[in-house]
């Protein structure tokens, strides 16, 4: 063989070897990387090539897979009572990816989780169609419906928790949206997606988990907890040294109560809570100081940046560096204090559970398409927020608020109910319409209990009509009744 031919032959052999190496590198070493690449449209087609598993509420699916037999997609996701369950399920769209449980549990729902490998292999060998697994939630269908219907056309959110386990029994955000309207990839889906994202009322915002509000007077329970835990008071009938006119520390600004004729001067802790006296708890907070208040708030879950249920909740916030006058306002849930509805439900749950705060969770069980359990959640304690003795004093305060104070609209025959109202100011110079809060718990004769937090943003009401007792308490009452009665 002459020299030029030999060189060409060697060069061609090198090219063939390079091609073989490259092919094996791509198909072997880089296979998973390419398969999971966000620009690989085959992944989207494969996700909808077979029925997706369902999200389950009390034994019934709230999702389904509709057979559409399209050119690229064989199935499309659909929801049952979509707007009511959207804050729980999220969306799963051929064009716009997915969110919340649809995204976080995608491996189970799509059938691609490694724990389903054996099941998928057996289905392949027997010729059975591949199908995703199911995600069983902790949601109580009646409680979810009561919260959704109670909020109605109001803007707000509601969360209900089982204090003993941390199960989330209701998770509602309004206004809501129907994930079915943009589950496909057609022009109508694009129009629905654009309209929802442009809506100033933010229907796709999960207010229950992802929005923080000034908690207003509901935070006074945290302030009272800090006072009891630090030995400032021994019982709910202890008198406070609240003056007739309380001037915020270091300022000439007077902190006022809702009404000038309220019996707040020298009030007992119980009277201060019954009438929701700003002066009583503002002064207690300023006297305790920011560090003790923050430490107590954090035991209830504030400032937790990684609270996953498994959807990650926005961190509720108690400021570390407020001035003394700011601390007084922080202590009554104003100034820089912020909380999600989930957070205030956690405060109520910890109090009802004798101080033990359980990790809130939304997924009870993951299972394969043949109903074999893959994983099951075990309740666990998040913290001991307060001692059992302090929790019992806080229970007495909350139950007094419902019996004698601002929360009387939450009374339920046959149940022990405790609650705390809140009307939180916000906006420049408090110009915004207040947020109406109510956090509560109810206990039945069988010792079963539920904790609820409701917030209402009602821009349609007159300012003087907005209060936690009138707007939020009836909603919380309906949720507690749904769970316990």
The residues that are catalytic are: 217
Strands 155-161 and 168-174: antiparallel
Q: Identify the CA nearest to 158 among candidates 178, 139, 177.
A: 139
Residue 415 phi/psi, 5-degree rounding, is -125, 150
Instruction: Give the Cα separation of 262 and 274 in Å (integer).
Output: 10
> Bridge partners of 363?
137
DSSP SS3 for 135: strand
The structure tokens listed for 143 are: 């409680």
Residues 348, 352, 353, 355: is their CA dihedral positive or negative?
positive
* Own/partner long-range contacts of 99-102 (Cβ < 8 Å, ≥24 apart): 100/206, 100/311, 101/55, 101/135, 101/137, 101/310, 101/311, 101/362, 101/363, 102/55, 102/77, 102/179
Residue 360 CA, distance from chain mean position: 9
Q: Identify the CA nearest to 169 among candidates 179, 183, 159, 184.
A: 159
The structure tokens listed for 144 are: 């979810």
Angle value at C-alpha 229, between 227 and 235, nearest 5 degrees = 65
By the 8 A CB rule, do 54 and 63 touch?
A: yes
Angle value at C-alpha 38, between 34 and 41, nearest 5 degrees = 85
Instruction: Give the Cα separation of 446 and 423 in Å (integer).
Output: 33
Instruction: Give the Cα separation of 93 and 85 in Å (integer).
Output: 16
For helices 278-288 and 220-229, angle between their N-to-C axes, nearest 10 degrees? 50
Residue 12 CA, distance from chain mean position: 62
Radius of gyration of the chain (CA): 28
Instruction: Give the Cα separation of 460 and 40 in Å (integer).
Output: 47
Instruction: Give the Cα separation of 303 and 293 in Å (integer).
Output: 12
Q: Identify the CA nearest to 363 among candidates 80, 97, 55, 146.
A: 55
The contacts of residue 378 (CB under 8 Å, 6+ apart) are: none
Instruction: Give the Cα separation of 280 and 244 in Å (integer).
Output: 10
Instruction: Give the Cα separation of 110 and 398 in Å (integer).
Output: 45
The contacts of residue 350 (CB under 8 Å, 6+ apart) are: 163, 300, 356, 357, 383, 385, 386, 391
């Amino acid at each position: 063989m002459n020299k030029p031919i030999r060189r060409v032959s060697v060069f061609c052999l090198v090219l063939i070897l390079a091609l073989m190496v490259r092919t094996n590198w791509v198909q072997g070493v880089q296979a998973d990387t390419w398969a999971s690449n966000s620009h690989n449209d085959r992944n989207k087609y494969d996700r909808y090539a077979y029925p997706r598993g369902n999200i389950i509420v009390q034994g019934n699916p709230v999702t389904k897979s509709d057979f559409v037999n399209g050119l690229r997609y064989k199935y499309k996701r659909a929801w049952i009572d979509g707007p009511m369950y959207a804050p729980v399920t999220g969306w799963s769209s051929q064009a716009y990816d997915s969110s919340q449980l649809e995204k976080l549990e995608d491996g189970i729902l799509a059938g691609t989780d490694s724990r389903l490998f054996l099941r998928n292999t057996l289905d392949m060998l027997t010729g059975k169609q591949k199908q995703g697994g199911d995600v069983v939630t902790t949601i109580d269908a009646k409680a979810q419906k009561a919260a959704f219907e109670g909020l109605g056309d109001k803007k707000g959110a509601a969360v209900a928790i089982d204090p003993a386990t941390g199960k989330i029994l209701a998770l509602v955000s309004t206004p809501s949206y129907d994930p079915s309207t943009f589950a496909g990839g057609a022009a109508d889906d694009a129009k629905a997606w654009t309209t929802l994202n442009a809506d100033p009322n933010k229907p796709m915002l999960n207010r229950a988990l992802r929005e923080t509000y000034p908690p207003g007077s509901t935070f006074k329970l945290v302030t009272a907890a800090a006072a009891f835990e630090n030995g400032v008071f021994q019982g709910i009938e202890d008198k406070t040294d609240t003056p007739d006119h309380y001037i915020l520390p270091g300022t000439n600004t007077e902190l006022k109560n809702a009404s000038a004729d309220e019996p707040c001067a020298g009030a007992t802790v119980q009277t201060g809570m019954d009438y929701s006296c700003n002066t009583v708890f503002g002064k207690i907070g300023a006297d305790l100081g920011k560090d003790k208040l923050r430490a107590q708030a954090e035991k209830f879950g504030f400032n937790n940046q990684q609270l996953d249920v498994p959807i990650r909740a926005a961190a509720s916030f108690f400021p570390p560096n407020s001035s003394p006058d700011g601390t007084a306002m922080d202590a009554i849930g104003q100034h820089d204090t912020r909380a999600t509805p989930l957070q205030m439900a956690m405060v109520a749950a910890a109090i009802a559970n004798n101080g033990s705060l359980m990790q809130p969770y939304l997924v009870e069980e993951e299972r394969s398409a043949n109903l074999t359990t893959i994983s099951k959640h075990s309740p666990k304690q998040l913290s001991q927020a307060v001692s059992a003795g302090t929790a019992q004093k806080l229970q007495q305060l909350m139950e007094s608020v419902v019996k004698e104070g601002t929360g009387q609209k939450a009374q339920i025959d046959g149940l022990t109910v405790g609650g705390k109202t809140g009307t939180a100011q916000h906006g420049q110079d408090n110009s915004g319409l207040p947020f109406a809060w109510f956090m509560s718990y109810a206990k039945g004769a069988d010792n079963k209990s539920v904790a609820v937090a409701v917030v209402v943003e009602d821009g349609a009401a007159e300012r003087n009509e907005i209060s936690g007792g009138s707007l939020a308490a009836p909603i919380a009452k309906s949720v507690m009744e749904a769970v316990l009665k």
